[in-house]
Amino acid sequence: MKFFKNILILLVVLFVQHVNAQLQENFSDGDFTSNPTWSGSTSKFLVNGNFELQSNGNSASGDTLWLSTPNTLFDSVEFSFKVMLGFNPSSTNYLRIYLASDSNDFRKALNGYYLLLGETGSNDTIKIFKQTGTLSTLVFAGSSEIIGSSATTANISFYITRNSAGVWKISADKTGGTNYISYGTFIENTITATSYFGVYARYSTASRFDKYYFDDFVIRNIVGDTSKPNAVAASIISSTQVDLLFSEQINIAEAQTISNYSISGGIGNATNAAVDIVNKNLVHLTFGNALVSGSNYTLSIANISDLAGNQMLPTQIYLSFFEPEKFDVLINEIMPDPDPKVGLPAVEYVELFNRSAFAINIGGWKFSDASSTIILPPVLIPADSFAVIVKSDSATFFTTNNAIVIPVASLPSLNNDKDSLTLKDVQGKVIHSLLYSDSWYGDDAKKQGGFSLELRNPNNPCAVVGNWIASNDENGGTPGKTNSVYEPNLALDFRTGNVTFASVNSIRVSFTQTADGISATNIFNYTVNNGIGNPQDVLFDTVSQNSATLIFAVNFDTTKIYKLTISNVRNCVSLGASTDSFTLAFPQKASRYDVLITEIMADPDPQIELPNREYLEIYNRSGKAISLKNWILGKTTSTTAAKLPDVLLMPNNYLLLCGTTAVGEFSNFAYPLGLTGFPSLNNTGDAVFLKDADGKLISYVEYSDSWYGDAVKKNGGWSLEMIDTENPCGTSENWTASTSSTGGTPGTKNAVAATTADSSLLNIVSASLVDSTTLRIVFDKNLDSASVVNPNFYTVNNGIGNPQNVSVVQYAFNRVLLSFSQAFHKGVIYSVKVNGLSDCQGNGMGISDTARFAIPDSMAAYDVVINEILFKPKTGGVDFIELYNRSAKVIDISKIRVIENDATAPENVLETSDTLVEPFLLFPDEYAVFTPNPDVIKAQYVVKNPLQLIKLGKFPNFADGAGICVLKTTAGLVVDSLSYSAKWHYALLDDKNGVSLERIDYNKPTNDKSNWHSAAGDIGFATPTYLNSQFYATGISEDAISIEPEVFSPDNDGYKDFTFVKYHFAEPGYQIYIRIFDGVGREVKYLVKAETLGASGEFQWDGTNNDGTKASVGIYTVFAEVFNLQGKTKRFKKEVVLGARLD
């Protein structure tokens, strides 16, 4: 009997299960073709690895898919299921869930009801249609959206009930959970029976083929509700408002009974209770007595039932009320540019930090950027905790990494370069705001994307500049946890930033951080000298909170300079600024040299201590306050320039100028002024100018890396500093490398500052014709702008006289153009004399007050020759090439390039120099030297004609051993070419570094090695710009063989260092042998062996033996034997004395 009873119980259980669950399918068996059986487009569906039913339709074009399964349960029924879509549905890409159908083929005519997801419009709602045959009629539309217009995916759980009277209730959770919210109720009872349930998908976009997902289908009889409701959460909206959320819909009458709610601490019962219009689980409570910020309370709830009559137990909820003030919650981390991805998802986010001692609910708060605002959902941020604002569809990563997430449908788009962000509470009070910039990264690589900006010291939220930097975390950021750059003790001084006159009776003051409004508006914290005293009022900027305008009872004298003293002003967290005094004046016009460029950081790499950024420093050396508004900073080599803002530069004040992206990095070193279009400074040299708003030139520097005077510092990390600001005319002699340990002194007095009074006289460098009536004169220093234009100071000979007009060439002020009424003529050499002119320091004309000029002649090959070459300079030295004009012409050498060819492959060009920008005339028998750095040549050698030293850009670095030097014009004329070798040096020289090779005779062939010799040691081993130490104009002796000189001393002192064996015959064609014997008849040198001769010539003996050693002092016999093919033979014996200088 017991056995029969167990079987009966089992049958009853099976029957109940069948009745209560006609369909229960979660695809956990990996099969949808049986248990239960689904029919239709079975080949176009599969069960994926997550045990979900997934579409797998045609991937090449649109398609229609459906599956149906038997179901007859339709009265007192509940449907629950989950739908997931990998796209936002539309009228052409949609989904139907057939809740009832009399046909198993949903493509054909049928009678039933279906739920539709997908429509044309901004937001999708839940819609139920009745289908009779092929006609569909809308019978229900939800009260609110189910899929937002900006959504890219959908994950929705549905719960739908229908009773026998045709009353339908539609609920859903659009997060895919089971916290269902009612979307409405309707009555429709036309169709009262069903045979099938199923899904129908249609898409026109081929990529949607596998983007339909389904799970957890349940169809069963309505299960009775016996669960009691619960109070899920209480959120304090304001001091008199509390929102109470229940676990389910509750009885409206009870929910709105005010006696059912009370708060401890004397607050009492609610004065109003209202169920939310949309979310019926939510009740809004209002109390007559206000909660006190920073207090704890208990909310008591009683007599509340759900719709099924289940009454909840009396409940008490702990409340902690805190009204956040400014800076209680901070914008703590910003990810404006997540691409390229480093470790975090490639999504933008903003992290908030609750730095208070209380949990704060940010529900209803507003978060904004410069162009859009969003309302934040209710999220409780515990004390000393973080929360991340991120789009809902990207929240999963952050929640799985234990971050508190504030999910939003849309996040204001964060600009990569800069944006303003503001956080306001529900009353509209600003809790935190900032204007970030990509300069805050402090790292050019991280600025390109994938790294967040993090706040360093949240204890000083008033500080912005220097308080933000790129994240150091390997993932690119730290959302939801302590910042990687967290420095709670980081000291960021609060100080006064800028002080200017706003009007004749007001002063505007700005601070480096957010200021405390009370101390900033205290009139006794500000005092002006010269009898002005305290302001009568202070207007504080309540928006920026970092500036104030001081209003005075009397007007200021616009010709005086005032001093404003500021004390006891504090920042927003009560950190005080030191007492500071500021000089004030009304702006006046600047004259030339009133403001100077005094420091140049052209090559900041490798970094010493200063930021790895280029900068310029300017200095007001006048006694005037000067406005820089609309001044122009630029380079002569560029058409673009930077315009300066309205900044007042006070007397004796410095100002650092840099690019806008470098401002944050310089803030701890100086008060930087960031300029859009700040010029890029070339490392080796550049020409920088500063003009006022009217275009008048104020300062100009044409610097060179030779100005450093230090081979190490020249390689980077050190600035060039002006030595004496009272010598603005000075060039290289008034500049040098900074001696500061940081590499420079931006915004402060230069480390090398000293007095270097310039008493040197003014000299003419060159004079050349621009055209037939215009003469250009170049001076070695800047000119006095007042006297330079006086025509009487310039006179030209040959009947020309004074010019009609004089104009100054822009920028350097060391060039003038003279215009004459008469034309200059070819073939005439003119001379211009300058008298009465002075430089900008007042120094008059020096010895070089006259210069020759002419219309240049055309150049032929070898008119100008290579006369001296230094190819292996001393340590710290440079190469040079000396040119000599051996012709009777006046030649313009400005179009000559110096070229280095490969000694092993002469057709290969290795390096080519620039040409000169302006003409340079070389007169007959004159020398000129091309070099990359004239200053170095002047420092290392005797230079008798320094104005003949010519700087040539991109000068070749000639090979030390052997090379080819070519002089070639821009028109292609090879003027001269030398194939030199280090072996041509005097053999007994111990050190050839810094020793030039000198041409002996400019009339002999350039590539005759006997025509070259090492420069003499007693003149410093080189003779740039003047006659060579080894110059020797060879002649022909009356005898067939002769010795000149007969006494020589090969000691490389420049005096008779070698002798020549000369020959002169009536006809060419002889061969010659020359041997040299000492006093006892021993051969010491076989000088020439079987060399064919011309009619005349010579051979050089440098006093060395056959083994290359120096021969002893004594008398030697030169034996020469010559013969020709006709058998004619001649022999000669000549004596020569090899001597030595007696010290």
CATH, range 764-853 = 2.60.40.1220
Which pTM does this prediction carry? 0.46
506, 552 contact by CB (below 8 A): yes
One of 2.60.40.4070, 3.40.190.10, 3.40.47.10, 2.40.128.20 is the CATH number of 1041-1138, namely 2.60.40.4070
Q: Which residues of the chain have pLDDT under 70?
A: 1-21, 120-122, 224-225, 577-578, 812, 988, 1032-1039, 1066-1069, 1124-1129, 1142-1143
CATH class (in words) of the domain with range 496-585: mainly beta
pLDDT at 780: 85
Residues ≥6 apart with Cβ < 8 Å to 444: none
Residue positions counted in the chain: 1143
Domain boundaries, the chain: 21-221, 231-321, 329-470, 496-585, 595-737, 764-853, 864-1019, 1041-1138
Distance CA 45, CA 307 (A): 40
Q: Which of 619, 587, 594, 617 is nearest to 500 (CA)?
A: 587
pLDDT at 544: 73
DSSP H or E run through 666: helix 663-666
pLDDT at 1000: 86
pLDDT at 122: 66
- 1045 cis-preceded (ω within 30 degrees of 0): yes
Say whether 1081 sits in a helix, a strand or coil.
Answer: coil
Q: Which of 612, 677, 611, 663 is nearest to 437 (CA)?
A: 663
Specify the fold of 595-737: Immunoglobulin-like (2.60.40)
CATH, range 21-221 = 2.60.120.200
Q: How far is CA 712 from CA 709, 715, 737, 853, in A?
A: 9, 6, 10, 42
Distance CA 235, CA 242 (A): 6
The answer to whether 496-585 and 1041-1138 have equal CATH topology is yes
Distance CA 933, CA 874 (A): 14
Q: What is the DSSP string of 1087-1134?
A: EEEEEE--SEEEEEE-SB-TTSSBPPSEEEEEEEEEE-TT--EEEEEE
Residues ≥6 apart with Cβ < 8 Å to 93: 87, 118, 202, 203, 204, 205, 208
pLDDT at 18: 38
CATH H-level superfamily of 864-1019? Lamin Tail domain (2.60.40.1260)
CATH class (in words) of the domain with range 329-470: mainly beta
346, 417 contact by CB (below 8 A): no
CATH architecture of 231-321: Sandwich (2.60)
Distance CA 955, CA 939 (A): 19
Distance CA 1131, CA 1041 (A): 9
